[in-house]
DNA sequence: TTGTAAGCGTTATCAG
DNA sequence: CTGATAACGCTTACAA
């Protein structure tokens, strides 16, 4: 016995398929009609086919969230926020991973045209002309959590990295640290570039020279460890890291070198992810508003699905600093 | 201008829709036909609609992975392994979160009947009669990463927690620790129950009495911290934790109490997730084979999609111990 | 209020 | 090898 269709239900209830559909969708029907349909549905264990339904109505009631790396705790914060908003709006959230390459991001965006979901929320790590083009051409609404040229004409929600950097440097100088180094991720990524720029500006604002700037191969713990040596050779008394994973990697190397955090070297991370409070010592971290970014991006996406003609908005969420024990 | 359909392509190429479909699916066609279709497809930027296609062929080429908590690093390990297997087989992987409640798991399994995906890989944290029933009744193949009664007649891949526990206790006694406590997650969960049982057995095998057994409200860092006091009051010189998050939570409380890890108290976690190497000190952890479990579960799922009549397999993957610096 | 029937965009069957 | 056409399961005018 195969899965029952709406026709089967109609037959069992002795009514038309249209009536079944109406009852199921809460459209007006007699008491008796409703009852007969309900009974038949229960009897057969009928469940409407989402594929057929979405083919007809043109909507899937699914939204896709694409992130670069599920291992990066900043995405779990964001994911939780997005999930909350979209499920409250009656959508299912499906999460997919793109990996670090632009080509995969482009493929994903183009694939959306196949109708898998009604909208895409993407947090691209690298952006190039092709990606912008793909986003513009995308059949379904796209909102970007991150930076993308304004000519892309797409809703974006991004962090204010320079401001966040300033917060970090303010705090460190206030603590008396002036030999500040920077452990960045790849500078050819969007966040990498933004943070590098922000770091330079923030130091300039304080009339400081960077002690060292290192660039990890990617935004991971392992990559952070690998380049920590380059940072430490410069004997900084404070290091700002482009995200929490890198910061934790650095702290491991500091421990291995017999250096105390925060007494010998203060460390500040970025993202203020769950890892920041889990690390030891708990990590002072720049909160770039990942939860709020997720929330607002999701709201933007829902709004655009509702009305695709609205003018694109570009939201910037403000950072704050979560001071923990990795700084004095 | 709206999205082109196969009919539009056919018109543009001056051929029938059937021919377009054939060319696109690599069925025999003349050189010229192929060329004309290809040109029209490129011209219009045609992308086949996945909904319509799956309605017709009855397959979505999507697989769903359902996990309880995206914040638990054990799932990222598993997710990576699953992703690798299913994408190699030509499927897209969509990840959804169920939360800690059985009702949500049941709803998810029942929802699969709507045709969102061709198969479901679920790692349920709590199992009850309803869930088993839902899985049996599920229209699409389901494989469970975890334990479920064998009468459910479903493929499962599970860890060997008792064996893992034994590894942990072996190691601790070898290090001379005999005052061993256990920090568990909720005992009414599948992993919680398995680990409690395993812990008791392992201690018995070593003629040891448990010093303390505490139960966190869930398998999270915060919950681990909250009940650590109950564990520490018993003055253990070793604590086994039901997962890495709990272990890290405990280590924070140990530090707060001025106790050294591993000298005063040895700590061993379970799951051997990325967090184990990121924590400080790096956490000795029982590797319950999450990557292998993910891989094999995915393979089982693919095999069952291929042939739904095969007899259900129940695979158990063997644990190993990753010794790091949280034990002497 | 209810039923009939026409699609939604594909693929598969069956003639030509 | 190619083209017309009937499904796939559902929603929605339109008619009754």
Q: Mean per-residue pLDDT for B72-93?
A: 94
SS3 labels along B62-82: EEEEEECCCCCHHHHHHHHHH
Q: What percent of chain B has pLDDT over 70?
A: 100
Q: Does position A285 have pLDDT exceeding 60, yes or no?
A: yes
Q: Does position A55 have pLDDT exceeding 60, yes or no?
A: yes
In sign, the C-alpha dihedral spanning B321, A275, A145, A188 is: negative
Q: Does position A265 have pLDDT exceeding 60, yes or no?
A: yes
Question: Tens digits of per-residue pLDDT, A16-36?
Answer: 999 999 999 999 899 999 999
Q: Does position A282 have pLDDT exceeding 60, yes or no?
A: yes
Q: Mean per-residue pLDDT for A120-144?
A: 93
Q: What is the pLDDT of residue A1?
A: 56
Q: How confident is the model at residue B1 (pLDDT cuts 50, 70, 90)?
A: low
Question: Tens digits of per-residue pLDDT, A181-219?
Answer: 999 999 999 999 999 999 999 999 999 999 999 999 999
Neighbours of B206 (CB within 10 A): 14
Q: Mean per-residue pLDDT for A237-260?
A: 97
Q: How many residues does chain A have?
A: 328
B16 near A CB under 8 A: no
Question: Tens digits of per-residue pLDDT, B230-282?
Answer: 999 999 999 999 999 999 999 999 999 999 999 999 999 999 999 999 999 99
Q: How confident is the model at residue B216 (pLDDT cuts 50, 70, 90)?
A: very high
Q: What percent of chain A has pLDDT over 90?
A: 92
Residue B219 CB lies within 7 Å of the nucleic strand C: no
Strands across the sheet containing A92-97: A314-317, A155-159, A142-145, A119-122, A62-67, A92-97, B92-97, B62-67, B119-122, B142-145, B155-159, B314-317
User: Which residue bears the tokens 């681990």?
Assistant: B224
Question: In chain B, what residues touch A133 (CB-CB under 8 Å)?
Answer: none
Exposure letters A145-181 (e unless 16+ CB within 10 A, then b): bbbbeeebebbbbbbbbbbbbbbbbebbbebebbbbb
The SS3 of residue B57 is helix
Q: What is the pLDDT of residue B197?
A: 97
- Element holding B248 (H helix, E strand): helix B244-256
Q: Mean per-residue pLDDT for B103-125?
A: 93
Cβ distance of A49 and B252 shorter than 8 Å: no
Q: Which of B62, B76, B245 sits opposite A71 (nearest CB)?
A: B76
How many angstroms is C1' of D14 away from CA of A18?
13
For chain A, the helix, strand and coil percentages under 3-state DSSP, each to the nearest 5? 50, 15, 35
DSSP secondary structure string for all residues of B122-165: E--SS--HHHHHHHHH-SS-EEEES---GGG--EEEEE-HHHHH
Q: Mean per-residue pLDDT for B23-30?
A: 92
Q: How confident is the model at residue B11 (pLDDT cuts 50, 70, 90)?
A: very high
Q: How confident is the model at residue A151 (pLDDT cuts 50, 70, 90)?
A: confident
Mutate to test the interface with B, among A51, A55, A95, A326 (most CBs of B within 10 A): A51
- Cis previous bond, B308, omega within 30: no
The Cα B297–Cα B104 span in angstroms is: 21
The Cα A145–Cα A2 span in angstroms is: 43
Q: Which residues are CB-contacts of A80 (< 8 A; sequence separation ≥ 6)?
A: A291, A294, B70, B71
Q: What mean pLDDT is reported for chain B?
A: 95
Query: Which of these, A114, A106, B98, lies nearest to A122 by C-alpha position?
Result: A106
User: Higher-confidence residue: A152 or A49?
Assistant: A49
Cβ distance of A94 and B97 shorter than 8 Å: no
Q: What is the pLDDT of residue A120?
A: 97
Mutate to test the interface with B, among A67, A115, A220, A257 (most CBs of B within 10 A): A115
Cβ distance of A274 and B71 shorter than 8 Å: yes
């Amino acid at each position: 016995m195969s899965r029952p269709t709406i026709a089967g239900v109609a037959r069992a209830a002795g009514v038309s398929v249209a009536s079944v559909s109406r009852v199921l969708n809460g459209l007006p029907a007699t008491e008796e009609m409703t009852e007969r349909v309900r009974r038949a549905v229960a009897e057969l264990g009928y469940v409407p086919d989402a594929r057929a339904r979405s083919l007809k109505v043109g909507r899937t009631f699914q939204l896709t969230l694409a992130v670069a790396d599920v291992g990066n705790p900043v995405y779990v914060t964001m994911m939780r926020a997005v999930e909350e908003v979209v499920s409250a709006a009656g959508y299912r959230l499906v999460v997919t991973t793109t990996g670090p390459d632009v080509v995969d991001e482009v493929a994903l965006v183009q694939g959306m045209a196949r109708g898998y979901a009604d909208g895409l929320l993407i947090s691209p790590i690298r952006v190039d002309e092709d990606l912008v083009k793909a986003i513009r051409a995308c059949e379904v609404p796209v909102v970007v959590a991150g930076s993308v040229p304004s000519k892309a004409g797409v809703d974006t929600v991004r962090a204010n990295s320079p401001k966040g950097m300033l917060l970090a440097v303010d705090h460190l100088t206030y603590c008396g640290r002036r030999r500040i180094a920077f452990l960045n991720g790849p500078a050819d990524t969007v966040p990498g570039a933004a943070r590098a720029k922000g770091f330079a500006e923030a130091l300039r604002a304080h009339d400081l020279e960077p002690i060292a700037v290192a660039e990890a191969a990617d935004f991971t713990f392992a990559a952070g460890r690998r380049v920590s040596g380059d940072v430490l050779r410069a004997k900084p008394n404070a290091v700002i890291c482009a995200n929490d994973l890198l910061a934790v990697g650095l702290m491991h190397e500091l421990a291995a070198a017999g250096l105390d955090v925060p007494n010998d070297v203060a460390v500040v991370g970025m993202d203020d992810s769950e890892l920041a409070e889990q690390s030891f010592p708990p990590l002072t971290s720049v909160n770039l508003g990942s939860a709020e970014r997720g929330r607002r991006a999701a709201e933007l996406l829902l709004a655009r699905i509702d009305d695709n003609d609205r003018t694109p908005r570009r939201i910037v969420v403000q950072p704050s600093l979560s001071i923990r024990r990795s700084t004095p």
